Structure 1
Amino acid sequence: MKDRIIALAALLQAVEQVQLMANQGQAQTDPLATCINSLFAFDAADAESVYGNRHQLKPGLKRLSAQLLGEGGRDNALTRIALNLLHLERQFQRRPAAMAEVHERLQTIRDESAGNDRPVTHPDTLAALGRLYAETVSPLGPKIMVQGNPVYLAQAQVVAEVRAALLAALRAAVLWRQSGGTYWDFFLSRGKMLQATRELQGLA
């Protein structure tokens, strides 16, 4: 359950950054960097290692707790995007060629970023990740509809960064599935999920 919760928290953290970029034109640097770094964690030992440590996912764990509890804190738009990404993950996993291409291009982007001594949130790195999403993942469907401020969504750089964050969210969705996550969790294991979320937050 712990790995599944970490993956879901990462998914929501990435989607929150998508919403911030769509509505305000920029994301929060550290939470976004945690999500983007996960795209280059090819040989991590477990879910927590993919994201450095659980403290890096504090925003995502907080959001997951609110989504599970409801009580006025649930974000329906965020839920819609997250569920669409879980559907997209199913399509992605059924396309071995697409998966192989994404992996190969991620390695290239990682090497280019490291070679130029760029942080993972550098505009050029995010632009490359955005192109990767647009060319290999987006055509698989379903399309992820992101609503926000038209002023920002008309800017090519913001669109690229949104796509980069969606790619990171897809990475989390894949990890959730690999950790044994199923849709039944949301109906039959909500209490266990909330308890695991609170434990990871240090609240239990």
Structure 2
Amino acid sequence: MSTQVNDQAIALSALFQAAELVSQLAKNGNAPEAALRPLLDSLLKTNVTSTDEIYGGNWQLFDNLQLGNAICQKTIGKDKTSVNPDTIRYALSILHLESKLAKQPQMLSALGQRISQLERQKEHYEDMIHPNMLAAISGIYQDNLSKLNFRIQVHGDSRYLQQSLVSDQVRASLLAGVRAAMLWRQLGGRRWHLIFKRKPILAALNNFK
């Protein structure tokens, strides 16, 4: 995948996957690790030569973002009613939050520094979904994005949301979603494209390999 719209399809798939994971965590208290891990790994993929490298490279891309790809196709296609409304709301909210972040250079710098620290922490825990890594990622979200004048409201079962591991996974998923939204914008993506450029985006999503 090399054209701009194909790269945008990667970013959108990651965005909707993050939003879906937030929905699942909030309502059920769990989410598939196979879908969460590549999103969290993407936070450390800052020096890459192609967009697909951020989410596992050409051979793992489809498997890593299959969930988000399917949901994105339904959302901007003709099957929107089958998608959890909360997932769509979270995806659009993440896009809006990232647009706020883009206007905060000091916060962007602070985020970059904290993410650099994550790389050193990962050497001790190896896996980004280790509870200590999740707590660190959650802390980055809380210390930065939670202070913007727009905050994403997560609704679900309070029995789960009050559990520290679940809340950490929710914030980590949101941060990964912001990463995807930033990538989408850097690739020329705009929110109105989801309405007026649906056909080429859907074609790219459908050819996702």
Matched, 1:10 2:37: no
More divergent stretch after superposition (69-78 vs 158-167): 69-78
More divergent stretch after superposition (63-72 vs 25-34): 63-72
Letter aligned with residue 39 of structure 1: L
- Structure 1, unaligned runs of 5 or more: none
Q: 2-side partners of 1:75 and 1:46: how far apart?
A: 31
Match of 1:36 in 2: 40
Counterparts of 1:1-204 in structure 2, within 5 Å, are 1-53=5-57, 54-55=61-62, 56-71=64-79, 72-114=81-123, 116-200=124-208
Percent sequence identity is 31
* Conservation of the 8 A alpha-carbon contact between 1:22 and 1:153: yes
Q: 2-side partners of 1:153 and 1:34: how far apart?
A: 22
TM-score by length of 2: 0.91
How many residues align? The count is 200
Letter aligned with residue 178 of structure 2: L
Letter aligned with residue 183 of structure 2: L
Deviations 1:10-48 (A, max 9, x none): 011111111121111122111100100000001012221
- Structure 2, unaligned runs of 5 or more: none
* Conservation of the 8 A alpha-carbon contact between 2:37 and 2:129: yes
Runs of at least 4 residues of structure 1 off by over 4 A?
Answer: none
Q: 2-side partners of 1:141 and 1:172: how far apart?
A: 20
More divergent stretch after superposition (72-81 vs 56-65): 72-81
Alpha-carbon shift at residue 156 of structure 1 (Å) = 2.0
